[in-house]
């Protein structure tokens, strides 16, 4: 029996029953399409998180007061107030692996300009903050050391603030907005950054000298957190170690005691989020995989019914010279073709629906060639695996009984 | 004289059904010469089909020897038997056994798919030729359900012919057909026989057996009688005498 004949026999048999062939393939089509789409969503969100994090700077480090004990946050107010400007100064002078460092205090409230207002956050930082967070100025300038020292009422604003307060004014630089009851002169506008992967608007912020916020809005002398950046990505770990050591000294923590602060790096966060999205991808993939399995069982079911229904055909084929192996191969090839053709349609449908998801829901999707190859291989295996038993049943039929079968 | 196409000696076939053993064939000797048109007759259950299945290499006898075209069947493997069925034997069944939703042409092509030596171009040509031989050239692209019983049986005969076999084996091939159509089929088989085909035809109807040169009467798994007819009836002549558009009985 040559292979082109076999292929033709199997194809004719499938074409003789197009609608059933389609129904049989449907399970595989849906299974493969959902595997492709799910993996695309999973991969997409992972890619998106990684892109964004690296855009934000993988060498960013942030330091918060309080320890990192698992099992609940129990922080006294004194603990929360443990960080001072001296800590920032110490990091600046002691930690060679740290290139920039900024204190952060923040407050939320209404930003008001004219008759417009907008609920937002004001961050008190120093002039290195833009560099650490990879923000850029679209117009105007950053604030100066002098403005920090003199509690100057100046601010740099993000795009969202501009859009909501200054819809009628071309350039907000030089205008004065109020935050709470304090007037701030706008000296700079940031370039747009868009949403981050958590859906937060990164342009909805007002930056002002931390001294101004401490004194005029919050009336505090401590700082809420510290942002720093390592001189390079490779120096991340060293920077974290140096910061930890420095802060333990400035906070006079005994060698036996726990830190009263914790240091986190952006790359650590990237790893965490990547791990989370990997788990998500695996879960989505597993659910889709189950539907693929159900599709495979569907093929087996139909092939099994088909063997019974085509008993006389099998008897005839044996009578006119088909060998058992020919019958076996015919049915295997049939189920193989059904699942591979179903798989190819499923892959196409998966690509289309991934694009649809991307454009309608504006979710990030990434279809990797690996997931396509994987889906294709799984289909081939399913075709052969689930076709095996029905094919063996067909080949084992007694020709005389099969010919007489009603 | 040349050797017979078929030669069987002492063929026995037992079926075990639970505790009971059914002796379907109890020692059959038979020789069939090239070009014979032979009827296997007998009451229902006398072993005709069992005999034909053995002759068709679909079933192995319990004992006895069978030579087909000079080959000892008992020495062949399953796959060799399949090859033999493909090349040397053609089957015609009572219920036609055509593939549904498959054109006459494709049905006739079917045996050629299992013959490696035949290219797809040859396959088509041979199938068309066989359909011409059975007078169905104009029905080539019809499906079985678009054809009458007689036409379907002719497609089946074309399928049996297409590999140019040594012997055609037919089991109650007219059993599902009315008298007129049966005669048409017999006329076709007589025509093929005149052109040299060896045909073994199982039937229980004497009406049909008279179209052959020889009959072998089976009774309880044994040959009860062998007859040779000097002058067989010609189905074509009988048909010509029949009023058209009207079937007898
Ligand atoms: N597969 C089988 N199993 C058991 N008994 C069988 C089988 N095939 C045929 N027989 C028995 O063998 C005998 C001959 O059957 P068969 O050759 O079909 O007769 P015929 O074709 O002459 O009517 C019958 O008694 C039948 O019951
Ligand atoms: Mg019978």
Token pair of B197 as six digits = 């085909």
Indicate whether residue B45 lines ligand 1 (CB < 6 A).
yes
Please determine, for residue A54, whether its predicted confidence score (pLDDT) is greater than 80.
no
Please determine, for residue A41, whether its predicted confidence score (pLDDT) is greater than 50.
yes
The span from the CA of A81 to the CA of A218, in Å, is 13
- What phi, psi does B13 have (nearest 5°)? -140, 120
Residues B153-176: pLDDT tens digits?
999 999 999 999 999 999 999 999
Residues B69-111: pLDDT tens digits?
999 999 999 999 999 999 999 999 999 999 999 999 999 999 9
Q: Which residues of B198-209 are buried (b: 16+ CB within 10 A; e: fewer)?
A: bbbbbbbeebbb
Please determine, for residue A33, whether its predicted confidence score (pLDDT) is greater than 80.
yes
The span from the CA of A225 to the CA of A285, in Å, is 39
Residues B126-140: pLDDT tens digits?
999 999 999 999 999
Share above pLDDT 70 across residues of chain A, in percent, rounded to a whole number: 95
Residues A115-144: pLDDT tens digits?
899 999 999 999 999 999 889 999 999 999
Please determine, for residue A70, whether its predicted confidence score (pLDDT) is greater than 70.
no
Q: Between A and B, how many CB-CB pairs are < 8 A?
A: 66
For chain A, how many residues are written? 406
Q: Under a CB-based contact definition with an 8 Å cutoff, are residues B52 and B171 in contact?
A: yes
The span from the CA of B202 to the CA of B218, in Å, is 10
Q: Which ligand is nearest to the CA of B44?
A: 1
**Contact assignment for A320 to B110 by CB distance below 8 Å:** yes
Q: Under a CB-based contact definition with an 8 Å cutoff, are residues A399 and A318 in contact?
A: yes
Please list the alpha-helical segments (H only) found in chain B: 48-55, 78-88, 104-113, 120-133, 149-161, 179-194, 206-209, 235-241
User: CA separation (Å) from B132 to A369, B188, B191?
Assistant: 54, 12, 13
Please determine, for residue B248, whether its predicted confidence score (pLDDT) is greater than 50.
no
Please list the alpha-helical segments (H only) found in A59-212: 77-80, 85-94, 129-133, 145-149, 159-165, 210-212
DSSP tally for chain A: helices H, then strands E? 14, 10
Residue of A192, A94, A214 lying closest to A135 (CA atoms): A192
What is the H or E stretch that residue A37 is in?
helix A18-56
**Residue A249: Cβ-neighbour burial (10 angstroms; 0-12, 13-18, 19+):** exposed
**Contact assignment for B114 to A317 by CB distance below 8 Å:** yes
Residues 6+ apart with CB under 8 A from A7: A333
Q: Looking at residue A72, what DSSP letter applies?
A: -
* Cβ neighbours, 10 Å, residue A5: 19
The span from the CA of A270 to the CA of B164, in Å, is 75
Residues A347-379: pLDDT tens digits?
999 999 999 999 998 888 889 899 899 888 988
Strand ranges, E, within A95-161: 98-113, 116-125, 137-140, 154-157
Token pair of A80 as six digits = 């929360």
The span from the CA of A277 to the CA of A46, in Å, is 6
Residues 6+ apart with CB under 8 A from A141: A187, A188
Residue carrying structure tokens 């349609």: A345
Residue of B87, B88, B130 lying closest to B108 (CA atoms): B130
Provide the 3-class DSSP secondary structure of residue B112.
Answer: helix
Share above pLDDT 70 across residues of chain B, in percent, rounded to a whole number: 97
Residue carrying structure tokens 């099998």: A314
Give the model's pLDDT for residue B249. 43
**Contact assignment for B99 to A8 by CB distance below 8 Å:** no
Average pLDDT value over all residues in chain A: 89
Q: Which ligand is nearest to the CA of B20?
A: 1
Question: B173 C-alpha to center of ligand 2: Å?
Answer: 11
User: CA separation (Å) from B240 to B30, B61, B244?
Assistant: 35, 43, 8
The span from the CA of A312 to the CA of B98, in Å, is 9
What is the H or E stretch that residue A7 is in?
helix A3-15
Residue of A46, A59, A58 lying closest to A98 (CA atoms): A59
Give the model's pLDDT for residue B1. 55
* Cβ neighbours, 10 Å, residue B213: 19
Give the model's pLDDT for residue A57. 67
Please determine, for residue B18, whether its predicted confidence score (pLDDT) is greater than 80.
yes
Token pair of B57 as six digits = 């290499």
- What phi, psi does B173 have (nearest 5°)? -65, -20
Give the model's pLDDT for residue A197. 65
Give the model's pLDDT for residue A73. 55
**Contact assignment for A316 to B82 by CB distance below 8 Å:** no
What is this structure's pTM?
0.76
Q: Under a CB-based contact definition with an 8 Å cutoff, are residues B30 and B226 in contact?
A: no
Provide the 3-class DSSP secondary structure of residue B47.
Answer: coil
Please determine, for residue B2, whether its predicted confidence score (pLDDT) is greater than 80.
no
- Min Cα distance B13 → chain A (Å) is 14
Token pair of B159 as six digits = 């399928």
Residue of B244, B94, B91 lying closest to B177 (CA atoms): B94
Q: Under a CB-based contact definition with an 8 Å cutoff, are residues B244 and B236 in contact?
A: no
Bridge partners of A63?
A226, A263
**Contact assignment for B82 to A400 by CB distance below 8 Å:** no
Give the model's pLDDT for residue A222. 93
User: CA separation (Å) from B70 to A100, B3, B28, B76?
Assistant: 100, 8, 18, 13
A264 falls in which pLDDT band (50, 70, 90)? confident
Give the model's pLDDT for residue A277. 85
Q: What is the DSSP string of A283-346?
A: HHHHHHHHHHHHHHHHHHHHHHHHHHHTHHHHHHHHHTT--HHHHHHHHHHHHHHHHHHHHHHH
**B53, B106, B159 member nearest A12 (Cβ):** B106
- Min Cα distance B216 → chain A (Å) is 23
**Inter-helix orientation angle B120-133/B149-161, to 10°:** 130
Q: Taking a contact as any Cβ pair under 8 Å apart, which residues of chain B between 44 and 63 contact chain A? A: 53, 56, 58-59
Q: Under a CB-based contact definition with an 8 Å cutoff, are residues A176 and A183 in contact?
A: yes
Please determine, for residue A31, whether its predicted confidence score (pLDDT) is greater than 50.
yes
What is the H or E stretch that residue B10 is in?
strand B6-17
**B79, B102, B114 member nearest A320 (Cβ):** B114
Residue nearest to atom 3 of ligand 1 (CA): B15
**Inter-helix orientation angle A369-395/A18-56, to 10°:** 150
Q: Under a CB-based contact definition with an 8 Å cutoff, are residues A304 and A392 in contact?
A: no
Q: Under a CB-based contact definition with an 8 Å cutoff, are residues A26 and A19 in contact?
A: no
- What phi, psi does A286 have (nearest 5°)? -65, -40
- Min Cα distance A323 → chain B (Å) is 6
How far is CA B152 from its chain centroid?
15
A219 falls in which pLDDT band (50, 70, 90)? very high
- Min Cα distance B113 → chain A (Å) is 6
Task: Give B175-243 as a 3 state SS string.
Answer: CCCCHHHHHHHHHHHHHHHHCCCEEEEECCCHHHHCCCCEEEEEECCEEEEEEECCCCCCHHHHHHHCC
Indicate whether residue B204 lines ligand 1 (CB < 6 A).
no
Pocket test for ligand 1, best of B11, B20, B22 (most atoms within 8 A of CB): B22
Ion ligand 2: residue ranges with CB closer than 5 A: B 49
Q: Which chain B residues contact residue A399 at CB under 8 A?
A: 58
What domains, with CATH codes, occur in chain B?
A: 34-61+75-241 (3.40.50.300)
The span from the CA of A75 to the CA of A79, in Å, is 6
Residues A94-116: pLDDT tens digits?
999 999 999 999 999 999 998 89
């Amino acid at each position: 029996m040559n292979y082109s004949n076999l292929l033709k026999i199997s194809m004719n048999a499938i074409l003789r029953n197009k609608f059933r062939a389609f129904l049989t393939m449907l399970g595989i089509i849906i299974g493969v399409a959902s595997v492709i789409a799910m993996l695309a969503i999973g991969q997409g969100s992972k890619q998106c998180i990684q892109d964004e994090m690296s855009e934000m700077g993988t060498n960013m480090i942030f330091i918060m007061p309080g320890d990192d004990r698992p099992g609940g946050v129990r922080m006294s107010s004194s603990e929360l107030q443990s960080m001072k400007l001296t800590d920032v100064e110490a990091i600046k002078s002691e930690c060679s692996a740290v290139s920039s460092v900024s204190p952060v205090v923040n407050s939320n409230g209404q930003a008001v300009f004219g008759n417009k207002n907008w609920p937002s956050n004001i961050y008190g930082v120093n002039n290195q903050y833009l560099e650490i967070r990879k923000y850029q100025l679209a117009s105007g300038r950053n604030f100066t050391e002098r403005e920090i020292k003199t509690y100057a009422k100046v601010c740099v604003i993000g795009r969202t603030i501009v859009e909501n307060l200054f819809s009628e004014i071309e350039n907000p630089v030089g205008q004065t907005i109020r935050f709470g009851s304090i007037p701030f002169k706008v000296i700079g506008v940031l370039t747009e950054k868009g949403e981050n992967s958590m859906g937060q608007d990164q342009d909805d912020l007002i930056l002002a000298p931390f001294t101004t916020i401490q004194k005029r809005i919050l009336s505090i002398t401590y700082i809420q957190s510290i942002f720093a950046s390592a001189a390079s990505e490779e120096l991340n770990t060293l920077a974290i170690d140096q910061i930890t050591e420095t802060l333990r000294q400035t906070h006079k923590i005994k060698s036996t005691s726990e830190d009263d602060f914790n240091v986190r790096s952006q790359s650590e966060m990237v790893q965490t989020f990547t791990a989370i999205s990997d788990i998500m991808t695996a879960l989505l993939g597993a659910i889709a995989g189950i539907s693929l399995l159900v599709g495979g069982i569907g093929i087996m079911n139909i092939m099994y019914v088909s063997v019974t229904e085509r008993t006389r055909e099998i008897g005839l084929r044996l009578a006119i010279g088909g060998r058992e192996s020919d019958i076996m191969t015919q049915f295997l090839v049939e189920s193989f073709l059904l699942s591979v053709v179903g798989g190819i349609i499923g892959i196409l449908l998966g690509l289309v629906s991934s694009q649809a998801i991307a454009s309608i829901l504006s979710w990030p999707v990434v279809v990797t060639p690996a997931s396509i190859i994987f889906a294709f291989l799984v289909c081939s295996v399913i075709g052969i695996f689930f076709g095996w038993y029905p094919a063996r049943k067909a080949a084992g039929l007694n020709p005389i009984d099969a010919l007489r079968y009603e | 004289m040349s050797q017979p196409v078929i030669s069987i000696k002492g063929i026995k076939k037992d079926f075990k059904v639970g505790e009971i053993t059914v002796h379907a064939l109890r020692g059959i000797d038979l020789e069939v010469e090239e070009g014979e048109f032979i009827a296997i007759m007998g009451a229902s259950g006398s072993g005709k089909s069992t005999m034909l299945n053995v002759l068709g290499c679909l079933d192995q006898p319990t004992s006895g020897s069978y030579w087909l075209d000079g080959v000892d069947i008992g020495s062949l493997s399953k796959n060799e038997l399949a090859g033999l069925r493909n090349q040397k034997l053609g089957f015609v069944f009572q219920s036609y056994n055509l593939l549904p939703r498959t054109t006459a042409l494709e049905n006739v092509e079917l045996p050629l798919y299992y013959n490696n030596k035949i290219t797809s171009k040859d396959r088509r040509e041979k199938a068309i030729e066989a359909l011409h031989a059975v007078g169905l050239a104009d029905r080539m692209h019809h499906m079985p359900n678009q054809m009458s019983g007689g036409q379907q049986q002719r497609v089946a005969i074309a399928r049996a012919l297409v590999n140019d076999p040594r012997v055609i084996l037919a089991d109650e091939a007219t059993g599902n057909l009315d008298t007129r159509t049966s005669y048409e089929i017999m006329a076709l088989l007589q025509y093929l026989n005149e052109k040299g085909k060896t045909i073994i035809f199982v039937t229980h109807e004497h009406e049909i057996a008279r179209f052959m040169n020889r009959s072998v009467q089976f009774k309880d798994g044994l040959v009860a009688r062998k007859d040779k007819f000097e002058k067989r009836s010609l189905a074509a002549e009988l048909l010509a005498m029949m009023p058209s558009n009207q079937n007898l009985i």
